[in-house]
Amino acid sequence: MSEPFSYPPFRPRDNEQNPPEPAAVQALKSSLFKCPSCSSNLGQPTEGQVNTYQCANRHCFDIAKEGYVNLLLAQRRRSTKPGDSDEMIRSRQRFLNAGYYQPLADAITQKVQQFGAHQRVLDIGCGEGYYLQQLRTSASDIQLYGIDISKTAVRLAAKRKLNAQLAVDSAFNIPLIDSSINTAISVFSPISAIETARVLTPKGRLIMVGPGAKHLAGLTAHIYENTVPHQGNPFNTTATDSEFNLLETLELEQEITVRLSDIEDLLKMTPYYWYARPEQQQTICALKELTTTVHFVIHIYAPKEAADLSPIADQ
């Protein structure tokens, strides 16, 4: 009869008898990013693996060659490719680069400049970086931050070489430390009032842009029999009153004429592409010119706790 099976007696391996000395804690150049695993600050090693962000608990995040970091942990992703589709993002980049929304970009950059010099500005849902580019062109002294949940968008933004700190992550879990940002902007992107208020300084400002009632009416006329006016800014309808005071509302409205392939890009950068029937998509894309109103509503908010609602001068 064979011996009954038993485990051999436990004998630690050599390296367990003499565990290696922990490596010396590396010097880290601090950043405003926080670790998505443990929420402690992330820094960049000053020597060795300089192309990573690390926290004190040694969680590491590589900086991609284009110069952005992906802080969106796999377990927090709701889909394998969250955010806008690559086609939407590339269409939006071509359309915006053609200058159709320049008046909106100018209004945003002017507002940011009014808030003072040497600011830290965060674009929440920055997409492929058009507004970050406009901000950089308008002022070299601002420190730019951008986040978007789409990796493709953040990669394209990084390729603009704006000297901006860019991360893939969610607006509902902004990967920045508390009170680190002077001005946040959100242009047609999802936003969390609580998270945005958390990262703003007490005297910070939020510039939020949404569609006005007549936005793209000339496009939607090709899709809906009765043009449905835009419902305005979704931020207003959520329970955010406890976080922000509305300081100012600006409206920008003008007619633009979109030409040739820019029409297809305009359609594809909006959800209207999915609402349009295939024959409507074809008709719109075959147009030589499309004249439409663009209508933007710009809300300026201050965090509710801010004691002083006068313009910022001393941040």
Ligand X SMILES: C[S@@+](CC[C@H](N)C(=O)[O-])C[C@H]1O[C@@H](n2cnc3c(N)ncnc32)[C@H](O)[C@@H]1O
Which residues make up the interface to ligand X (CB under 6 A)?
A: 83-84, 92, 96, 125-127, 130, 148-150, 153, 170-172, 187-190
Those residues whose C-beta lies under 8 Å from the C-beta of residue 41, and which sit 6 or more positions away, are 30, 31, 33, 34, 35, 55, 56, 177
Q: Residue 190 binds which entry of Zn ion, ligand X, none, with Cβ cut-offs from 5 to 8 Å by kind? A: ligand X
Binding Zn ion (rule: CB under 5 A), the pick from 59, 111, 151, 214 is 59
What single string gives the DSSP state of each residue in 67-123? SEEE---GGG-SSSS-SS-HHHHHHHHHHHHTTTTHHHHHHHHHHHHHT-SS-EEEE
> Which residue's CB is nearer to ligand X, number 122 or number 153?
153
The minimum distance between CB 233 and ligand X, in angstroms, equals 13
Q: Angle at CA 234, nearest 5°, toward 148 and 275? A: 80
> Which residue's CB is nearer to ligand X, number 71 or number 302?
71
Pairing state between β 289-303 and 28-34 = unpaired
The minimum distance between CB 310 and ligand X, in angstroms, equals 28
Q: Angle at CA 62, nearest 5°, toward 120 and 88? A: 70
Q: Residue 67 binds which entry of Zn ion, ligand X, none, with Cβ cut-offs from 5 to 8 Å by kind? A: none
The minimum distance between CB 212 and ligand X, in angstroms, equals 15
- What are the tokens at 138? 């308008």
Binding Zn ion (rule: CB under 5 A), the pick from 27, 38, 60, 73 is 38
Q: Residue 83 binds which entry of ligand X, Zn ion, none, with Cβ cut-offs from 5 to 8 Å by kind? A: ligand X
- What are the tokens at 71? 């802080």
Q: Residue 134 binds which entry of ligand X, Zn ion, none, with Cβ cut-offs from 5 to 8 Å by kind? A: none
The minimum distance between CB 116 and ligand X, in angstroms, equals 23
Q: How many whole angstroms separate alpha carbon 295 and alpha carbon 252?
A: 6
CB 70 within 8 A of CB 151: yes
Taking contact as CB under 5 A, which single stretch among the options 32-40, 91-99, 140-148, 199-207 is the one that binds Zn ion? 32-40
Q: Residue 138 binds which entry of Zn ion, ligand X, none, with Cβ cut-offs from 5 to 8 Å by kind? A: none
Locus of tokens 């951008």? 146
> Per CB under 5 A, which of residues 162..221 are in contact with Zn ion?
none
Question: How far out from the chain centre does Cα 276 lie?
Answer: 27
Q: How many whole angstroms separate alpha carbon 208 and alpha carbon 249?
A: 10
The minimum distance between CB 22 and Zn ion, in angstroms, equals 16
The minimum distance between CB 200 and ligand X, in angstroms, equals 17
Q: How many whole angstroms separate alpha carbon 176 and alpha carbon 158?
A: 18
> Which residue's CB is nearer to ligand X, number 86 or number 253?
86
Q: Binding residues for Zn ion, per CB under 5 A?
A: 35, 37-38, 55, 57, 59
